[in-house]
Amino acid sequence: MLKPAKETPLCALAVAEILREAGVPDGVVNVVCTSTAGPVVSAMLADPRVRKLSFTGSTEVGRVLLRTASETVTNCSMELGGNAPFLIFEDADLDAAIEGAVLAKMRNGGEACTAANRFYVHEKVADEFTTRFAARLEKMSVGPGLEEGTDLGPLVNEDTRSKVASLVADAAGKGGQVVTGGRAPDRRGYFYLPTVLRNVAPDAAILDTEIFGPVAPVVRFSDEADAIRWANDTEYGLVSYLYTSDLRRALRVTEALETGMVGINRGIVSDPAAPFGGVKQSGLGREGGHDGLLEFTETKYVALDW
């Protein structure tokens, strides 16, 4: 049974149609759409025939589902929230880092659990990166996704856009400077301009919150240890990104970062063959590849005398 989010049911229905066309018999995969998820999911988890729950969504909802599933000891996989740091060291290829930042931040308009949320940039390259990154985002065309030439579509709803605007306002009120964007365009729809902030204060809410929008706060650092400490200073641990030309540093920092996935000199980590998932409050288990298949199996040990 597949229950999509109420804001995005069409993707799930499209998947079901593809499976039907591929020959999966009717009734094997069932899509259940509802605007009141609580009662529907509670009914599912109360049924003893349900042996596995796989959830993708917020950490807050994941905690509720884990509590509910504990009543029936239902096996759970949780792909929850993120707060991905994007580290750029002084020896990084800035051309590659900017393109990677565009992919990691702007893919799906920033509405992805793997979206880069916080940019920690070495002070030697921070000004150049910020200026060039902002110039790159300013060239993006904002509009409905069906319009030809559109680079960035709307956010999913008004609540999300209001949250993004509030985070930007908080950061600006604490000394952060808007390099580009920082507002909703004057047009119908839940749009928000691609935004870059510099000199963001350590206590700004935007550094502790999953933005889920096209906003990139930039923080300068001078010491590798500080960058790692700031990157790990979150309850989330889904994915990290880092750019450097020093392989020893890349591996050293990768081991120190408290995330389930790390992208080294690349802005996309997702791959069907790779184990996708996080640590800490970002979830339980893995999706994808061999590890993802094992999440839906049970180990049976048989001892015998023949």
d(CA 285, CA 281) in angstroms, rounded, equals 12
Closest CA to 114 of 270, 2, 231, 221: 270
Q: How many residues does the chain have?
A: 306
H-helix or E-strand spanning residue 66:
helix 59-70
Can you tell me the distance from the alpha carbon of 227 to that of 208, in angstroms, rounded to the nearest whole number?
Answer: 15
Q: Which residues are CB-contacts of 222 (< 8 A; sequence separation ≥ 6)? A: 122, 123
Give CA–CA dist 298/306, Å, rounded: 24
* Phi, psi values for residue 52, rounded to 5°: -150, 135
Rounded CA separation 93/37 (Å): 46
At residue 19, what are phi and psi to the nearest 5 degrees?
A: -65, -40
Taking the C-alpha atoms of residue 290 and residue 81, their distance in angstroms, rounded to an integer, is 23
DSSP annotation string for 222-257:
S-HHHHHHHHH-SSEESEEEEE-S-HHHHHHHHHHS
Question: Which residues are part of the catalytic machinery?
Answer: 79, 113
